[in-house]
Amino acid sequence: MSTLSTTGRVALVTGGSGGIGHAVVERLAADGYALAVHYAGNQAAADAVVATIIAAGGQAIAVGGDVADEVAMADAFAQTEKAFGGIDVVINTAGIMILSPVATLNLDDLDRMHRTNIRGTFVVSQLAANRVRAGGAIINFSTSVTKLALPGYAAYAASKGAVDAISLVLAKELRGKDITVNAVAPGPTATPLFLDGKDAETIERMATMNPIERLGTPEDIAEAVAFLAGPARWVNGQTIYVNGGMV
């Protein structure tokens, strides 16, 4: 049995300067990838991540842009290719979450989530479909809430249901190109995106919804991403639920 070497491979990680994206960057850097660490607004955070990778002997650059802006993201892809010679893996962790019951959701918030979570995923996936090298992988980010159907999550879950559809259809459209496409669907994970605005009781209740009885960590999610990015060449067109057995 042969295994795919990750040394010398190149990955572009959107939202790579914080949260789950940062953990993904750190894991892939440890696996020998050259990294393009994408940021939307906080260049200083991305630059700090890049500096850490370089100090440890790795290769990394920071690239910026709104994931929903096809011109900005095309430039980010071009910068990555110029720096490292090509792109093997694209991981789209960038996303926003705004919680509200359907009856009271501000429709401007709905549009914001659609722009980042749906259009952003489509833009990044479209660019990746045309630029990732053979033997590569495209990994988008969904959510376990699409199955849990928790109150307050309707708009967010709807946007991530679209991510599932984009990812699984694209996997079939890339027939013959030797590029896998999958979606990762985390459960409750201890990041600012999840923790902000929740009281201790809510966090504790959600932490014990899975049989392992804890929140996920960004490193838990990064482990699954690393598997899909490298050795998991026979996993394709799937949504992988990484949530401790919650669903």
Q: Say which range, 40-54, 164-178, 206-220, has the weakest mean pLDDT.
A: 206-220
pLDDT at 84: 98
For residue range 28-42, list pLDDT tens digits in order.
999 999 999 999 989
The burial of 82, by beta-carbon neighbours within 10 Å (0-12 exposed, 13-18 middle, 19 or more buried), is given as exposed
Could you write out the DSSP letters of every residue in 141-154?
E--THHHH--TT-H
Q: Is the pLDDT of residue 172 over 90?
A: yes
pLDDT at 5: 62
Phi, psi of 182 (to 5 degrees): -140, 165
Single pTM value for the model: 0.93
Average pLDDT over residues 106-133: 98
For residue range 58-106, list pLDDT tens digits in order.
999 999 999 999 999 999 999 999 999 999 999 999 999 999 999 999 9
The burial of 227, by beta-carbon neighbours within 10 Å (0-12 exposed, 13-18 middle, 19 or more buried), is given as middle
Token digits of residue 52: 């850490």
Catalytic annotation present for 156: yes
- Enumerate residues 6+ apart whose C-beta is below 8 A from 72: 64, 65, 66
CATH topology of domain 10-188+218-242: Rossmann fold (3.40.50)
Average pLDDT over residues 106-111: 98
Q: Judge contact between 53 and 62, C-beta under 8 A.
A: no
Average pLDDT over residues 109-118: 97
pLDDT at 2: 42
The angle that helices 19-30 and 218-229 make with each other, rounded to 10 degrees, is: 50
pLDDT at 177: 97
Catalytic residue among 33, 39, 153, 156: 156
Q: Judge contact between 184 and 139, C-beta under 8 A.
A: yes
Question: Which of 90, 95, 137 lies closest to 117 in space, CA to CA?
Answer: 95
Q: Judge contact between 221 and 184, C-beta under 8 A.
A: yes
Q: Where residue 194 falls among pLDDT bands split at 50, 70, 90?
A: confident
Alpha helices of 88-186 — where are they, by DSSP H?
107-113, 120-131, 145-148, 154-173
Q: Where residue 1 falls among pLDDT bands split at 50, 70, 90?
A: very low
The angle that helices 70-84 and 120-131 make with each other, rounded to 10 degrees, is: 40
The angle that helices 19-30 and 43-55 make with each other, rounded to 10 degrees, is: 20
Q: Is the pLDDT of residue 3 over 60?
A: no
For residue range 143-168, list pLDDT tens digits in order.
999 999 989 999 999 999 999 999 99
Average pLDDT over residues 187-201: 80
Mean pLDDT for the chain overall:
94
pLDDT at 199: 83
pLDDT at 4: 58
Q: Is the pLDDT of residue 26 over 80?
A: yes
